[in-house]
Amino acid sequence: MIHQPIILVVDDEPNNIEMLAGMLDDQYELRFAVSAQEALTAIKEMPKPDLILLDVMLPDMNGYAICERIKEDPATADIPIIFVTSLGDPEQEEKGFAVGGADYIVKPCRALSIKARIRNQLEMKRTRELLHRLAITDGLTSLANRRHFDEALKQEMQRLQRQGGQLSLVLIDVDFFKRFNDYYGHPAGDECLRRIAAVIATELRRPADLTARIGGEEFACLLPETSLAGAYIVAERIRQTVLSLKMPHQSSTISDYVTVSVGVATSSGTEAAHLYQRADIQLYIAKTSGRNCVVQ
Ligand code: GH3
Ligand code: MG
Ligand code: MG
Ligand code: MG
């Protein structure tokens, strides 16, 4: 985290807010809400809070209900919520955990204890985020991995069927890459894949585009709201830029340099199925019609 962690403090008592602020404002960026309504608005403010300290008894809605709301929304579900309340009986505490609370602190709270619990929750959140990033990232190229790509393709297909529009897919495969490895060695092969990955990532400019390494020397670009003509332009730019790197490939029979073959396909809401298979067939045609080309 580059910024100080942001904590949203939700409490309707000015005294409580003042006390928590005094304990925490040297280490954290604090935001405050004095009602459920304010809390539910504040939580949408970007950047999102990293943690919420939530009172249970509030004028407009109780803290448990607020917690459930926050946990229901995928955009906010990962924010840890610590209840800070004067309700000390075990049934209340159990309820706090049942609705998704990460911890439960009974007032009056001690500064050292509340700070330690906050640190723990923030540390666990950071670890969760790191593991999630690793789970969806390709270790060699830092592009998205196959798992991420499959999930994104599924979601984009569903969105297409709901909303219509166009979704394009570009599949890229390095030509004669087995020979490249045999000739230059595996470490050089890895470096070549990294350079191609960097080209692909640079050529994709829209935030919604996804670039993934989906196989050994195969890459995919998922392009929402992109026509076949638009995807073809991107694909052709990638093919040319890879060639312009002039990475020597002595054992290629079609060029002195590393080249890629590319297949492109587009789906609209009415016939969203088989997008991947269609792009794969175009890639196969690119391979059988000489390589170093784009087929749409
Ligand atoms: P084509 O032009 O028909 O695509 O031929 P090709 O040799 O590229 O295709 P093939 O699928 O036969 O071989 C892919 C090769 O990619 C096999 C393997 O040596 C290499 N490869 C796969 N993953 C990696 C990797 O992570 N690092 C390196 N260095 N090479 C890899
Ligand atoms: Mg209260
Ligand atoms: Mg291949
Ligand atoms: Mg290949």
Round to whole Å and give the CA distance between 286 and 254: 13
Q: Name the residue with the closest Cα to ligand 1, atom 20.
A: 178
Which ligand neighbours the alpha carbon of 62 most closely? 2
What is the ipTM for the molecules in this complex?
Answer: 0.96
pTM: 0.86
Does position 235 have pLDDT exceeding 80, yes or no? yes
Instruction: Look at residues 180, 286, 186, 184 and name the one whose alpha carbon lies nearest to residue 232.
Output: 286
Among residues 38, 217, 218, 236, the one annotated as catalytic is 217
- Which residue is associated with the tokens 């309504």? 37
Round to whole Å and give the CA distance between 143 and 38: 39
Which ligand neighbours the alpha carbon of 12 most closely? 2
Query: How far away, in angstroms, is 228 Cα from ligand 2 center?
Result: 57
Does position 1 have pLDDT exceeding 70, yes or no? no
Q: Is pLDDT larger for residue 161 or for residue 124?
A: 124
Q: Name the residue with the closest Cα to ligand 1, atom 10.
A: 178
Q: Is pLDDT larger for residue 68 or for residue 2?
A: 68
Query: How far away, in angstroms, is 10 Cα from ligand 2 center?
Result: 9
**236 carries an active-site annotation:** no
pLDDT digits over 148-170, tens only? 999 999 999 999 988 889 999 99
**Structure tokens given for 12:** 């309707």
